[in-house]
Every structure is written in C-alpha cells, then in structure tokens.
Homo-oligomer: A and B are copies of this chain.
Amino acid sequence: MSETYFALGNEVTLFEQAFGQRVPVMLTGPTGCGKTRLVEHMGLLLGRPVVTISCHDDLTSSDLVGRFMVTGGDVVWTDGPLTRAVKDGAICYLDEVVEARHDSLAVLHSLTDHRRTLYLDRAGEVVSAPAEFMLVCSYNPAYRSSLKELKSSFRQRFATLSMSYLPREREAEVVVAETGVGLSTAQRLVGCAVAIRTADDAFHFEPPSTRVLVTAAQLITAGATELEAADACILAPLSTDGAISDGLREVAAACLAGADI
C-alpha cells in the first residue's frame, strides 16, 4: 500500500508551523478521512519518528508514562511510550484521545503548556521535552456523547486542524493508487460513498470512509463483483437494521448499475 498523502487544504502547512512553534496539534474529523495518514506523512516530512498510542477506557497514566517492574528480583522503572517519545524527540500521536480517561490525560497538562515538561511522580523524575518533541491528538466529533467529551480547557491547549473527506475526484485517485483497480470502478465506488454520506443526516450512522472504498476495491481486484464488494465493505458495516440496510442497498445498486471490472 502506497504512502502518498493527498493534502486536503492547509493542514500540512499549519502542522509545520505548529511544529516550529512547539504548539501541540489536535486533529478532528470523521473516521477514515486521513488523520493517521497525515501524522505519518508529517513524521516523514519533518524527519521525526512517530509513536502511536490508541486511546481507550483502560489506558492508565502508567501505560503512558511507565511503571516499576520486577526484574531479577529488583524493581526497575520502565518508561512508557509517551516518556520514550518525549526523550526521543518523537511525534507522539494519541489516536481517539476522547476515549481515554480524564486522569490519564492529566499527565499531558505540563507537556502542553509553556513548561513542556513531563512529571513522573512515581519515579520522582522530571523530563523536559526537546524542541523536536511534538504531541498530536485526534478525535472524531461525531462520536461526541454526553458522557464522554474532551474538556474545553483540554482542547484549548492545542491548535486544532479540522479535516474532512477528500474531494470526489481526489478520492477516486487514492482508491486507484492504493489498489490498482480501474478508474471507472473507483469512481463508481466513490459515487456510492458520496450518495450515502449525503443521506447520512437522516440515518445517523458513521458515513463510509475512504478506507472502506479501498477495501472494497481490493476485493474487486481479487475477483468479487462490485456489488458483492460494496455489500461486504461499504453497506454491511453501516447498520444492522434491516430496513436501513435495504434502503442503502438500493442507493448503492443505483451507483454501481452496469458495473464491470
């Protein structure tokens, strides 16, 4: 799979400016619109390694900063991925940060203001971030629930780059570049996705991402029909409600009608 990044707007420039000013960055946008890809691309562009941490309910601050572990009968401090990223001057990428517990995020406070310092309270150690270290977080505002939301004071610590899907023609190019599928097939798959994304407000589900179009195109190159591939990769993951699925299948069939590989 190719590593090419297709820029959507000014996100690459703003990311570079934030890096130069040591300002942490928050990426927002729907699932699969390219947030992870942007971070990987910027890592290559800025010549920094990327340390990715998928956030979730049970990620403790110890998982981030490190913990004492028994080795050879003795207890030795072992750095966590965040601490390693700070010491290495890496780009540390917290994916879906809204999923993390608030207490785990508290260790980020001193890293994201003028101090740029990580306090390892349990180890009694203080780590100053080098100029090259950068913290990047991402989250999908569409998942915003009443129970779990990033505190505004946390969001204010970041420069926020709002991302979205690629324009229609660019997205088809990505599908072709990633899978080798024919352009007309790619265009029909994108058309199918755009039709569903447009109908999204009525259905309240997460719209299909560029990623699922790539997956569908992969099955097509392996011999599946467009309808089979769209059914398995685009439609089935959207909803398990029979009535909605039938409606979506009609929308898809219209886009893919007369399809050939």
Binding site for B on A (CB under 8 A): 1, 10, 13-14, 17-18, 20-21, 23, 26, 28, 31-32, 36, 52-61, 63, 68-75, 78, 80-81, 84, 95-96, 99, 101-107, 109-110, 113-114, 119, 121-122, 124, 140-141, 143-144, 151-153, 155-162, 205-206, 208-209, 211-212, 215, 218-219, 221-224, 228-229, 232-233, 236-238, 240
Q: Roughly how many angstroms separate A72 CA and B76 CA in the complex, as a whole number?
A: 10
Q: Which of B26, B54, B84, B208 contacts A107 (CB 8 A)?
A: B54
Q: Roughly how many angstroms separate A101 CA and B215 CA in the complex, as a whole number?
A: 25
Q: Which of B14, B68, B224 contacts A232 (CB 8 A)?
A: B14
Task: Give chain B residues whose Cβ lies under 8 Å from the Cβ of A75.
Answer: 69-71
Task: Give chain B residues whose Cβ lies under 8 Å from the Cβ of A71.
Answer: 74-75
Task: Tell whether, in the assembled complex, residue B58 and residue A153 are in contact, meaning their CB atoms are under 8 Å apart.
Answer: no
Would you give the shortest CB distance from A32 to chain B, in whole angstroms?
6
Q: Which of B13, B72, B106 contacts A99 (CB 8 A)?
A: B106
Would you give the shortest CB distance from A197 to chain B, in whole angstroms?
13
Task: Give chain B residues whose Cβ lies under 8 Å from the Cβ of A54.
Answer: 106-107, 109-110, 119
User: Could you write out 30 A-B pairs with CB less than 8 Å apart?
Assistant: A13-B223, A14-B219, A17-B222, A17-B224, A20-B222, A21-B222, A26-B236, A26-B237, A28-B236, A31-B156, A36-B113, A54-B106, A56-B103, A57-B101, A57-B102, A57-B103, A63-B121, A63-B122, A68-B69, A72-B73, A72-B74, A78-B124, A80-B121, A84-B124, A99-B102, A113-B211, A155-B236, A155-B238, A156-B211, A159-B232
Give the nearest-CB partner of A108 in chain B.
B54
Task: Tell whether, in the assembled complex, residue B18 and residue A219 are in contact, meaning their CB atoms are under 8 Å apart.
Answer: yes
Q: Roughly how many angstroms separate A107 CA and B57 CA in the complex, as a whole number?
A: 12
Q: Roughly how many angstroms separate A113 CA and B209 CA in the complex, as a whole number?
A: 12
Q: Roughly how many angstroms separate A105 CA and B55 CA in the complex, as a whole number?
A: 10
Task: Tell whether, in the assembled complex, residue A95 and residue B122 are in contact, meaning their CB atoms are under 8 Å apart.
Answer: no
Give the nearest-CB partner of A205 in chain B.
B152
Q: Roughly how many angstroms separate A29 CA and B26 CA in the complex, as a whole number?
A: 25
Task: Give chain B residues whose Cβ lies under 8 Å from the Cβ of A233.
Answer: 23, 159-160
Task: Tell whether, in the assembled complex, residue B121 and residue A109 are in contact, meaning their CB atoms are under 8 Å apart.
Answer: no
Q: Roughly how many angstroms separate A51 CA and B109 CA in the complex, as a whole number?
A: 14
Q: Roughly how many angstroms separate A207 CA and B160 CA in the complex, as a whole number?
A: 16
Q: Roughly how many angstroms separate A205 CA and B190 CA in the complex, as a whole number?
A: 37
Task: Give chain B residues whose Cβ lies under 8 Å from the Cβ of A229.
Answer: 159
